[in-house]
Chains A and B, each alone.
Chain A
Amino acid sequence: MMPTDRSGSDALVRLTDVRKSYFSHRVETPVLHGIDLTMQRGDFLAIMGQSGSGKSTLMNILGCLDTPTSGSYVLAGQAVGQLSRAELAGLRNRTIGFVFQSFNLLKRMSILDNVALPLVYAGVARKRARERALLQLEKVGLADLAKRQPNQLSGGQQQRVAIARALVAEPPLILADEPTGNLDTRTSADIMAVFAQINQARGQSIILVTHEPDIAACAKRLVRLKDGLVLYDGPAREGLHQLQQDDATEQARRATRPAEATV
């Protein structure tokens, strides 16, 4: 495991020994077993890990959508655990832009109004919010679709609208859980280009969950999760290299001992 020596006092994200268990019918299912994670402003972080390793669970905690069972989370200098629901909503509104795998645009609302919504919740007047939303749509190249409804757009277009919505309030952190999960390779590349561009040009921090090494390669830093623990935290290039080797040994192991390959 790599040392977490990035613990500057102005860190955007600081998780300390974050644990999360789900409870159903009083049965505890531990998912995260103590995650420490620190992230500076301007970083671009990819999270990888097998299905069920707790990536989405971690993302929900990072996004203040869910609360950890124990451990502390400081986001943009605010101790998240002490905030009320209304304060959390305000913090999300100001600090985080969400991009979801399934786009999650609101039906019955024009593209423009979808993009303007975070500003409306921030208390910006509707007219001004729409102006800013249109500007943001121009940046992702969809200004001429502003009047359409979400279901009149392709998946890639919808995801770009979602990115525009995540960016419109200019939050310091973008959280994207498998943003290319529903898209083909070429569209995925387009979307990743947008992410890389906003990270470079605007210095917005990005945390992105993916299963694909190609996608993770766009990030600066890689975090690999395994069974609710951080398996690797370091530069993306080395991490991916290591991942490749791990996969190769795994495959070799499977080839020689097929009986155990059912895990």
Chain B
Amino acid sequence: MKFTQLLSESAGAMLANPLRTLLTMLGIIIGIASVVLMLAVGDGIKAFINKQLSVLGSNLVLVQADMRKSAGARLRTGTVQTLTLDDAEALNRLPSVVGAAPMLTTWSQISVGNDNSNTQVQGTTPASFKIRNLRMAKGSPITEVDVASAARVAVLGKKTAEQLFYKADPIGQTIRIDNQSFQVTGVLDNEGQSFDAGDIGEIVIVPISTARVTLVRTASPRSVQYIVVQARSAETLNDMVVDVKELLRDRHRMRAEDEDDFRVVNFGEFAKSGEAIATGLSVALGFVGAISLVVGGIGIMNIMLVSVTERTREIGIRMAIGARPADVLWQFLIEAVTICLVSGVIGVALSAGLAAAVTATGKFDMTVGFKAVAIATLFSCAVGVFFGFYPARRASKLQPVECLRYE
């Protein structure tokens, strides 16, 4: 018997009882949809993390100033500014370090005319732009000259610029930060969450020297709050952290028993934990999918057994006419696989719709890729074959006389 004939016959059998077929398919539909969503969520989270890392800049660690302690006793109480510009320069010279940017940040009121808002202001050096992957939408970034001369210049985040100037060009305009005038030299192009300042679109960047003079009070003329350090690659990140710690302990003249007077925050690990969450979610969805597929498969098996019983006479007639046991087996097997495949297609369509809806909210990108569709197809076929085989085999083993006698 030809395959196309088998296919059209199984379509006929499915349509003979559409409601029953649909209900039978539900388990497989849910199972396949979960499996596809699992893959889409996994891919989506990975894409999200990558996007996030491109906002943050990749392979970064943050070295924060902390209190100096010696064998349990604080030496300089109340100060949390153990790091200095010199530390940053020393870090910059480490072979494992690509760049190090010292930072001084504060929340300040910025205003243009009567518009004002509270925003984080970051005082930093040009190195910060490079290692944090900051791009200019307009104008130019902070320069070494600006830092050297403590120039009253500012680079605005995209949203801050829009908030203060609407559609007007902010370049060359004057804004007031804590009531002191700054000239806008550039606008950032970046968007999204940064690791240290909330939305990168809402910050203002000024030279670190200017920040120290005008906005942030520091313990000493060279101290900084934290230093952003970039490693050459993800692989060398951990080695770099070791180098960084060693250098700083050495520079801070710490003895072996002293605790660090700084803290290292590693964003590589941050990304790793994000991926762990993605894996966890995928596993959970995969679990739901697997259970639905098994339950759905049992449903298919049940309905196929019912179908074999209902169609006993038909089987007898077919056998009398010349259907071999293999023909009967194929007929029921193809029927089970067809049901599963159609369920799979519906499941994929359902999850694609859901993924599109989630993507449309703009918070998270989910795409149902070719891999997901291929896996769904494979799974639905496998479920059909696995759970359809027993009923089909049973049908093929029936004796023609007994079938023909069956009412």
Q: A residues near B, CB below 8 A?
A: 60, 63, 65-66, 85-86, 89-90, 92-94, 98, 100, 104, 106-109, 117-118, 120-123, 125-126, 165, 169
Given A109-B12, A121-B327, A126-B2, A93 contacting B400 (CB threshold 8 A): no
Q: Is the CB of B324 within 8 A of A98?
A: no
B46 at the interface (CB under 8 A from A): no
Find residues 381-402 in chain B having any chain A CB closer than 8 Å to their own CB: 399-401
Encoded as 1 (CB less than 8 Å from any A CB) or 0, chain B from 87 to 125 comes to 000000000000000000000000000000000000000
Task: Classify the secondary structure of B's interface with A.
Answer: helix
Q: Is the CB of B324 within 8 A of A89?
A: yes
Q: Is the CB of A92 within 8 A of B1?
A: no
Which residues of chain A come closer than 8 Å to B27, judged between CB atoms?
none
Partner of B318, one of A107, A117, A126: A117
Pick the 6 closest A-B CB pairs, nearest first. Answer: A93-B322, A121-B322, A89-B324, A66-B401, A86-B324, A65-B400
23 CB < 8 A contacts A-B: A65-B320, A65-B401, A65-B404, A86-B325, A89-B319, A89-B322, A89-B324, A89-B327, A90-B322, A92-B322, A98-B320, A98-B321, A104-B317, A106-B317, A107-B314, A108-B12, A108-B16, A109-B12, A118-B322, A120-B1, A121-B324, A122-B322, A126-B4
Q: How far is the CB of A148 from chain B (nearest CB, A)?
A: 15
Given A60-B401, A106-B314, A126-B2, A121 contacting B325 (CB threshold 8 A): no
B85 at the interface (CB under 8 A from A): no
Which residues of chain A come closer than 8 Å to B4, judged between CB atoms?
126
B323 at the interface (CB under 8 A from A): yes
Q: How far is the CB of A133 from chain B (nearest CB, A)?
A: 13
Q: Is the CB of B2 within 8 A of A120?
A: yes
Q: Is the CB of A93 within 8 A of B321?
A: yes
Which residues of chain B come closer than 8 Å to A98, judged between CB atoms?
320-321
A169 CA to B321 CA in the complex, in Å? 10
Query: Which residue of chain A lies nearest to B313 when distances are taken between CB atoms in the complex?
Result: A104
B5 at the interface (CB under 8 A from A): yes
B13 at the interface (CB under 8 A from A): yes
Which residues of chain A come closer than 8 Å to B13, judged between CB atoms?
108
A212 CA to B327 CA in the complex, in Å? 38
Given A104-B404, A106-B314, A85 contacting B12 (CB threshold 8 A): no
A92 CA to B5 CA in the complex, in Å? 21
B326 at the interface (CB under 8 A from A): yes
A93 CA to B2 CA in the complex, in Å? 16
Which residues of chain B come closer than 8 Å to A100, judged between CB atoms?
404
Q: B residues near A, CB below 8 A?
A: 1-2, 4-5, 12-13, 16, 313-314, 317-327, 399-401, 404
Which residues of chain A come closer than 8 Å to B319, judged between CB atoms?
65, 89, 92
Q: How far is the CB of B219 from chain A (nearest CB, A)?
A: 89
Which residues of chain A come closer than 8 Å to B318, judged between CB atoms?
106, 117, 121
A122 CA to B320 CA in the complex, in Å? 13
A125 CA to B314 CA in the complex, in Å? 22
A249 CA to B4 CA in the complex, in Å? 61
Which residues of chain A come closer than 8 Å to B327, judged between CB atoms?
89, 121
Q: How far is the CB of B301 from chain A (nearest CB, A)?
A: 22
Query: Which residue of chain A lies nearest to B9 when distances are taken between CB atoms in the complex?
Result: A109
Partner of B323, one of A89, A107, A109: A89
Q: How far is the CB of A263 from chain B (nearest CB, A)?
A: 26
A125 CA to B3 CA in the complex, in Å? 11
Q: Is the CB of B321 within 8 A of A86?
A: no
A187 CA to B1 CA in the complex, in Å? 35
Given A106-B314, A108-B16, A126-B4, A63 contacting B320 (CB threshold 8 A): yes
Given A92-B319, A94-B322; 4 other pairs, CB 8 A cutoff: A65-B404, A107-B314, A125-B2, A126-B5
Given A108-B16, A120-B2, A126-B4, A90 contacting B324 (CB threshold 8 A): yes
Query: Which residue of chain A lies nearest to B404 when distances are taken between CB atoms in the complex?
Result: A65
Which residues of chain A come closer than 8 Å to B314, judged between CB atoms?
106-107
Partner of A117, one of B321, B324, B404: B321
Q: Is the CB of A85 within 8 A of B324?
A: yes
Which residues of chain A come closer than 8 Å to B1, judged between CB atoms?
120-121, 123
A93 CA to B320 CA in the complex, in Å? 8
Q: How far is the CB of B318 from chain A (nearest CB, A)?
A: 7
